[in-house]
Amino acid sequence: MIRLRALLIAIPAILACVPGAVRAQYPFGKNKVLYAPKEWKVLETDHVAIYFYPDERAVAEFVAGIADDTYREFSRFFRVEFDRRIPVVLYGTHHDFGETNVTPYLVSESTAGFTEFVKGRIALPFSGSYPKLRHVFRHEMVHALMIEKLRVVMSSRRRWGYDGPPLWFVEGLAEYLARPEPDAEARLFMRDAATNGLVYPLEELWRIEGSYLMYKVGESVVGYIATRFGDEALTVLLENWWRYDRFPVLVERTLGIPMRTLSDQWLAYLRRRYYPAALDRRGMEEIGALLSPAKSLYEMHPVCAGGADGSGRVFCVGWARGAMNVMELERDGGGRARGRALVRGGSSVRFESIPAMRSRLYARGDTLLFVSKAGAEDAVYVYDVEARRVLRTIRVPGCRVLSSPSLSPDGGSIVLSAIDGGGKSDLFVCSLEDGAVTRITDDYYDDSSPDWHPALPLVVWSSNRCRGDDDSYALYVCDPAGGGIEPLTSGGFRDVDPRWLGDGTGVLFSSDRAGTPDAYLLRDGALTRQTNALGGVYSPSPCGDGAFLCTAYEAGGFRSYRVPLRDEASAAPAGGAACDEAEWTPGAPDTASSAVERDYRMKLGLDFIGATFALDPDYGSAGNGAQLFFTDILGDHQFIGLLGTATDDFDEVLDKLNVAVTYVNLTRRLNWAVGAFRLAGYTGSSLDLIRYERRTGVTAALVYPINTFARAGIDVSGTR
């Protein structure tokens, strides 16, 4: 029979389509939406199987080119070999990555990749930068090899259940091995933590677990252990894992010193290394005026709207109520700074997700430009801050990820950075009049943060086009209507986030050329350092004739400041970029060309076995048994099986057998499932008639995610 329960489920599913239900559903969770199915391929090297779709072939070939060398490097370090290829699932953009079924959980924008523990799968998105992709791939490969090392060590000692290392050690080891030397960002975070009392003893690192600081602290601790005791000590720690159940005991027996002593010595090392920086660097409140609320932790990309004297309104991207929002920074009646949400992210289809780091705001007069994910892709919103309404929505066909829009001098076009479907991060110009899109750059360099000159047909932006396989960035300019690309700065540093001054005579930008990100002014070929902050300074933006706004990382948070503009005659020359003459393209031809490509074929593997208790929804308990979960590599095909019996007598095993199987298909936007079951057991209570019943039946379900916040679904079942 068909149960009435199917109709009762269908009614609320239909109600979920109306706007009121969309808002009501938000606090209870979000949906994963596969907006378009993918034609998966597999690229196999000697040690890695790369799962990709044709649009991202360049990304897949790049990973194939570095995969085997990376595997051999870490295999030697861990002294372990895989007996199978490591599966690596690639996604062309972070939005595609958010649709993954490799994990059943929602993937946040801050997740750069992950390695799951069941099948040892690595999942990675392409963020526009091939050097960053290399680093994240190496980081996740460390996880895969470390997990395999622990499995081999423990299984060789017949220990099947065990706890893993603390998270700071896991992530710290991955960061330490993925990058030969700590970069400027790692030093920045550690210097800030050390000088602001944010570094805890090793036994108390749980206080920062899950934060980005934990990664950098872990990298520092692991690097300190390697410096003191050699890289060999890190491998021996894992090889001794079977001996001890507590990490502090393992450290003491392996390194020969108590963990408390190791912690004290590491903290003393941090003081020796980073305290001297306080002598020639200053806190941000000595440099400029704080605009963020005193207890806030995140306000990024501040811009000034109107007011040539710097008295205009200040907008930024800020964190509030569990999501990123477009905020206005203002003062209350008592003169205290406060943040007011102008556009709330994360609670509607229109403003599904406002990017935290990758995209800046742009302001001119009462017009504000910002980016938000809206459905399958990003959109640029032209927003009237006085009327608090969207004037226009702009999308770029073929590009799911957009960043940092900037308005042309005549207000008729915008320039922005976008990631297309083919592994390229380039610049585009969009006409506000007819929606026409013109591509300015078309290569494999990471072109980001463009800004239009206030009066001339010139665009300045940041790019690693000096050397595409290097993580250094320089500033470049060009006429978007055509013409050559000219470098403005040298390519040996990270020169990012450029903004023209209001009169167009110079460019503000952030650079780590002094070892830490600071604000600089480039004018007439000369550089003037604007800040010497103890933390780091990002995203400088002019505000009036004599000041600029910026974000500074200090005391564990990103906050916005207004800083006086300096223009000293003794500034150092900027220099031009000495770059490679040949255009860079991704991939290592020798390795990538030897890889074997094939079509993806579903192959199921066992994910989980567990004891379960079978329960009929209408008639109560029906027995127990084992539950088995099988999925394919992509997680798109899922089989769940149940096997058990409700008897204590071997003679009745088959008669009282409990068996059920369900298949779930997640390959398209419309998810569906079918199943069959045979459940037997006793039901009732001592106050009622206890009876034995056997029930067989089938079930089916359809679920259609309308968007991130609403879905329609129905399930039916028939029993006998």
Identify the residue with better confidence: 667 or 9: 667
CA atoms of 217 and 169, how far apart (whole Å): 9
- The mean predicted confidence, pLDDT, of the chain is 87
Given a cut of 80, is residue 378 above it in pLDDT? Answer: yes
Report, as an integer, the average pLDDT of 97-120. 91
Rounded mean pLDDT, 504-511:
95
The interaxial angle of helices 167-178 and 130-156, nearest 10 deg, is: 130
What integer pLDDT is reported at residue 584 of this predicted model?
83
Instruction: Tell me the pLDDT band of 52, cut-offs 50, 70 and 90.
Output: very high
Using CA atoms, how far apart are residues 345 and 329, in angstroms rounded to an integer? 17
Q: Do domains 35-161 and 281-573 have the same CATH topology?
A: no
pLDDT for the residue numbered 16: 32
Q: What percentage of the chain carries pLDDT values higher than 90?
A: 68
What is the pLDDT confidence band of residue 703, given thresholds at 50, 70 and 90?
A: very high
**pLDDT value at position 620?**
46
pTM: 0.91
The span from the CA of 157 to the CA of 161, in Å, is 11
Is a pLDDT exceeding 80 seen at residue 310? no
Q: Is CATH 3.30.70.20 the right assignment for the domain spanning 281-573?
A: no
Looking only at the bridges linking them, the beta strands covering 122-125 and 86-91 are parallel
pLDDT band at 66 (very low <50, low <70, confident <90, very high): very high
Q: What is the pLDDT of residue 7?
A: 27
In sequence order, what E strands does 40-187 have? 41-44, 48-52, 86-91, 114-115, 122-125
pLDDT at 677 over 50: yes
**pLDDT one-digit tens code per residue, 245-254:** 999 999 999 9
Domain positions in the chain are: 5-28+601-719, 35-161, 163-280, 281-573
Chain position carrying tokens 């199921």: 604
pLDDT at position 24, please?
32
Helix or strand run (H / E) with residue 701: strand 691-705
* Strands 671-683 and 657-665, sheet pairing: antiparallel
On whether the 35-161 domain is CATH 3.40.30.160, my answer is: yes
Q: How far is residue 267's CA from residue 77's CA, in Å, rounded to a whole number?
A: 27
Q: Quick one: pLDDT at residue 577?
A: 52
pLDDT at 651 over 80: no
Q: What is the pLDDT of residue 334?
A: 74
Range name among 198-202, 272-276, 309-313, 328-332 with the lowest pLDDT average: 309-313
Confidence of residue 347 (pLDDT cuts 50, 70, 90): confident
